[in-house]
Structure formats: C-alpha cells, structure tokens
Amino acid sequence: MSALESIRAPLGFLRTALPTVPHHDLLESEQDWWSTAALPISSAIDRAGIPWVRMFDRSGKRVDEILYPAEYYTMLRRGYRAGVIWRALEEKSLIPSYLLIYAISFYDPGICCPYTVSLGTALPLSKYGSAETQGRFLPHLLSKDDSVWQGATWMTEIEGGSDLGAGVKTIARPAGDRWLLTGDKYFASNAHAELAVAAARPEGALPGVRGLALFLVPRFRSDGSLNLSIRRLKDKIATRSVPTGEIELRESEAYLLGSADSGIYLILEVLNLSRVANSVVSVALAQRAMADALAYAECRAAFGKRILDHPLLHHQFQARLHSLRSAFALAWESVRLLDQVWTEHPPYSDRYHLFRLVAHLAKYWTAEFAIDTAKWTMEVHGGLGTLAEFGVERWLREAMILAIWEGTSHRQILDGLEVMERKQAHKLLFAHLAGSAPSHEVRELEADIQRLLTLPTDQKEVQAEPLFRRLAFFTASHLSS
C-alpha cells in the first residue's frame, strides 16, 4: 500500500518521480492552499456550467464582461502570484512554471489553460516584441500582484485548427505603428484576457501557412474603448474554469510580433508551450482520478471486504501506478527538452527537433492515459461514477478535452511522422535514450520506422498509428525505468 500513498497529493507523487523537486516549499504551500480553499471553488465553477457574459452596461455601452463568481478570481490569481508566468522570465527557466502547472491541475485541470496561454503570450512577446511593445505590455504580464494581466492565444477559426494555412481568414492591415485586424476567432481561450496573441494574414500575403503573421491584440484600444467583442462563450463539456469564447475582431488594434512572414514559426512555438502543458496536465489529471478512486475503494466494502482489497482491483491500482510513472516521465522529458530549446530562433537545432517528436509522443500518450484512467475511476465508483453528485465523471470530461485541444491524437501521429521523416527525429530520440533502452529493441524499432517511412504516403499514414503508439510506450517505459 505504501506506494499508493504517493498518489494522494501532487507533491507526494513528484517526490517519487523526480530526483529532487525544485521549489519544494513553494509547491508545498500552494498544495496546502489548493487542497483546502480551492477545492470547493473548482467544483462550484464546474457545476455552474458556462458563466454569463454581461454584454452591455446600464448605459448601453458594450462591455463584454465574463461573470465568474468572485471566488474564481481568488483562485485564478493565486497561480499568477505564485509565479507561473513571472518565474519563467525571472528565473530564465520553464521548470517552475510546469511544476506549478502539475501541482495546480491536480486540483483544477482547466485553470492551467489561462496560465499556459498567458505563458504563450509573455514568452513570444519577450522574444519577438519590439522594445516599445515590450515596454508597454510585458510589465503587466509579469506583475506579481493582483494587477497582473492575463494572456491568451487565439489561432483557430471556424474552418478548423489543424490546417491553419487554410483556416485563418482574419486579415491584418497596416495602420501607422500598428495593424488593424478583422476576422472571427472561433476557439478563443481565455476570452477576457487583457492581451492576446492572434494569428492573422496581412493583406496581400502569400496563401497558406507562409502568409501568416502573429500579432498582439489588447482587450482595450489605446483610447480605452473595447478592442474586440466576445460573441459568446463556448458551452464546453469541461474546463469551465477557462472561458473559451468566440471573438469578433473588427478593425482591432494589433502589434506585429517578429516579421510579417515568419508567423508560422511563432505560432508553432506558442503551440509547443501549450502542448507540453497539456501533457503535464494530463498526467496530473490521471493522478487525481486515481486519488479519488483510492479514497473510494478504501471506504466501500463488498463481499465482506474493502473493494480495494479485492485482488483484481488491487492489481489494477498497482498496474496503473506503474503507468502513471511512465506517463509522467514522458511528459516531463518534453518539459526538460523544451526548457533547453525554447529560446531558439529558426533555423532550429537537432535538439529542437528531438523535442518536437517527444512532445508529440507525450501529448498523444498522456492524453490517452488520462482518458483511460478517468474511465476506470468511474467504473471503480460503479453507478455513483455516473452521477454528477460524486464529481468523478468530471475527470472524464476534462480528459476528453485534453485529448482534443492542442491537436488530436490523429494530428500528433501525422506531425510526429513528419518530424521523423524530415528531421530524422526518431534517430535523435534513440540516441537520446541510449543507455536506458536495450539496443536490440532500439534496432528493431528503428528498422520498423525506416520501413514505414519508405512507404507511399497513403500507406504510410494508414500504418502509422500502431508504430507511433509503440514508440510512445517504448519511450515512456525507458524514461521511467
């Protein structure tokens, strides 16, 4: 039983999964707060469904305020103050951010989305913003008190998010020292953020992804008026602590990041941040679901003993704990690699391409694991698992979203295939794992991948899935052993 004890709280597990836990005291104090004060808040937000939007104030002026309960902001700001954003730039490392994301998403997987997209705003601004733009906006994002601004990442339009080259119809027109954007963003995370990064196509730019640019879009114009409209919030099945909205940009003021023809690189760098966060949150969610299952299995009896003590269930707990460790190792490897490459500019190093493959494997594998664990937790609860009253069905809803946003499994497979094909990333991975994985296994897997890559495109895609899954399992296993 003692091994299972580690799953009851995030720090307990981190201690078993990392050689040392940086920022241990910070994490402990956060864990204390979230496990007491934040739990009922998070549940209440989930039960409440999508919040209201107040579109007009009493004078008839459009305001587009999102009416979360006041306690939502208490919870939300806690993470900002703890440093989920400011530490990344102050400590020049992403490790503290992702540690906080792990610890917090054990309690609320949705609220880590605002943190992640704020990171996805602050980091590109710090890398690609002009001095003036940085001076204007960065201090707000890095504030250590409740005046902190939030960021947001608005890429996807109604045509869909996978094929951004075709899907982004938002147009950008230059207007003096800034740009004016017009278009509709369909999945706009953190819709009430004070500052967002948004993909748009400058007038006259190339078609496809080459013609995209990345812009900063503040919530208010420089004259103080609203710079955009929130058409509505999405009625999502979960992650209700992030307000995902539809945003209407109408000649909205914007500031170019980087150059007008390099947007796709910046977009993908933003996506790297959120994809890695997705993996970290997926593992934390799986741990949480297991912790709930454990608490239940300890207090329920059938056929004369606690259900935890029934051999089949007990075995499932042990096996799943093993998988949890593998999944964490894979996710954390994507964190460690990203921490090494996130300051790179194109053209990127091999380390970056290795990171990309690991990030695809981790996104794919951890989300599948989170769903499977959430489903299992519901089954452990039997009929109670299907009731809103007991709260565990929430983990399946949350996990299902994790499997879809930042790219579905389908997309991870195909993008993983591409980075293997173009950059030989699988070879980089095998070299990276050298020492921890037996060489005959590596040779066999490498040969199978080479075979796959030489197939005609159609065949390659059709056959990619089992091999990608095998590679993910292989990598996770050897990282955690």
In the bound state with a second copy, the residue whose beta carbon lies nearer, of 10 and 385, is 385
Residue from 158, 206, 431, 447 binding a second copy (CB under 8 A): 158
Residue from 1, 166, 175, 434 binding a second copy (CB under 8 A): 166
In the bound state with a second copy, the residue whose beta carbon lies nearer, of 266 and 464, is 464
Please choose, from the candidates 46, 122, 116, the residue with its C-alpha nearest in 3D space to the C-alpha of residue 79: 116
> How far is 468 from 364, CA to CA, in rounded Å?
9
Contact between 25 and a second copy per CB under 8 A: no
Provide, rounded to whole angstroms, the least separation between the CB of residue 62 and a second copy.
8
The neighbour count for residue 301, using CB atoms within 10 Å, is 13
With 0-12 / 13-18 / 19 or more C-beta atoms within 10 angstroms meaning exposed / middle / buried, residue 447 is: exposed
> How far is 150 from 112, CA to CA, in rounded Å?
12
Provide, rounded to whole angstroms, the least separation between the CB of residue 376 and a second copy.
9
Part in contact with a second copy (CB under 8 A); list of ranges 18-26, 159-167, 172-180, 358-366: 159-167
Phi, psi of 251 (to 5 degrees): 50, 45
Residue from 303, 347, 422, 438 binding a second copy (CB under 8 A): 303
Residue 268: CA atoms inside 13 Å, Cβ hemisphere, count? 19
Cα dist. 260→123, 195, 212, 471 in Å?
18, 19, 7, 37
Residue from 85, 442, 464, 476 binding a second copy (CB under 8 A): 464
Part in contact with a second copy (CB under 8 A); list of ranges 169-177, 279-287, 323-331, 454-462: 454-462
Name the one residue in this structure whose structure tokens are 């007009």.
56
Which positions from 169 through 208 interact with a second copy, judged by CB under 8 A?
186-187
Provide, rounded to whole angstroms, the least separation between the CB of residue 434 and a second copy.
31
**Chain centroid offset of residue 103 CA:** 14
In the bound state with a second copy, the residue whose beta carbon lies nearer, of 345 and 470, is 470
Provide, rounded to whole angstroms, the least separation between the CB of residue 53 and a second copy.
8
Beta strands in 35-104 (DSSP E): 52-56, 62-67
Assigned token pair, 454: 């030489």
Residue from 200, 401, 425, 445 binding a second copy (CB under 8 A): 401
Contact between 418 and a second copy per CB under 8 A: no
Part in contact with a second copy (CB under 8 A); list of ranges 81-89, 145-153, 434-442, 457-465: 457-465
Provide, rounded to whole angstroms, the least separation between the CB of residue 158 and a second copy.
4
Residue 236: CA atoms inside 13 Å, Cβ hemisphere, count? 28
Which positions from 101 through 130 interact with a second copy, judged by CB under 8 A?
none
With 0-12 / 13-18 / 19 or more C-beta atoms within 10 angstroms meaning exposed / middle / buried, residue 58 is: exposed
Contact between 26 and a second copy per CB under 8 A: no
Contact between 226 and a second copy per CB under 8 A: no
Whether the Cβ atoms of residue 194 and residue 64 lie closer than 8 Å to each other: no
Contact between 58 and a second copy per CB under 8 A: yes
Assigned token pair, 310: 């029934």
Max intra-chain CA distance, the chain: 77
> How far is 128 from 201, CA to CA, in rounded Å?
18
Residue from 408, 418, 424, 469 binding a second copy (CB under 8 A): 408
Provide, rounded to whole angstroms, the least separation between the CB of residue 116 and a second copy.
16
In the bound state with a second copy, the residue whose beta carbon lies nearer, of 69 and 346, is 69
Provide, rounded to whole angstroms, the least separation between the CB of residue 107 and a second copy.
13
Say how many residues touch a second copy, by CB under 8 A: 84
Residue 358, H or E segment: helix 350-380
Residue from 41, 119, 228, 285 binding a second copy (CB under 8 A): 41
Which positions from 261 through 280 interact with a second copy, judged by CB under 8 A?
none
Contact between 147 and a second copy per CB under 8 A: no
Residue from 140, 300, 336, 423 binding a second copy (CB under 8 A): 300
Residue from 354, 403, 442, 449 binding a second copy (CB under 8 A): 403
End-to-end CA distance of the chain: 20
Contact between 3 and a second copy per CB under 8 A: no
Name the one residue in this structure whose structure tokens are 């004016």.
180
In the bound state with a second copy, the residue whose beta carbon lies nearer, of 206 and 387, is 387
> How far is 307 from 300, CA to CA, in rounded Å?
6
In the bound state with a second copy, the residue whose beta carbon lies nearer, of 335 and 472, is 472
Q: x/- binding map, residues 310-329, to a second copy, per CB under 8 A? A: xxxxxx--------------
178: left (phi over 0), alpha (psi -120 to 50) or beta: beta
Which positions from 365 through 394 interact with a second copy, judged by CB under 8 A?
371, 375, 378-379, 381-390, 393
Part in contact with a second copy (CB under 8 A); list of ranges 83-91, 226-234, 281-289, 472-480: 226-234
Whether the Cβ atoms of residue 266 and residue 195 lie closer than 8 Å to each other: no
Whether the Cβ atoms of residue 75 and residue 41 lie closer than 8 Å to each other: yes
Provide, rounded to whole angstroms, the least separation between the CB of residue 338 and a second copy.
23
> CA 411, 413, 417: angle at the middle one, nearest 5?
115
Amino acid at 25: D
Part in contact with a second copy (CB under 8 A); list of ranges 118-126, 142-150, 304-312, 440-448: 304-312
Whether the Cβ atoms of residue 201 and residue 169 lie closer than 8 Å to each other: yes
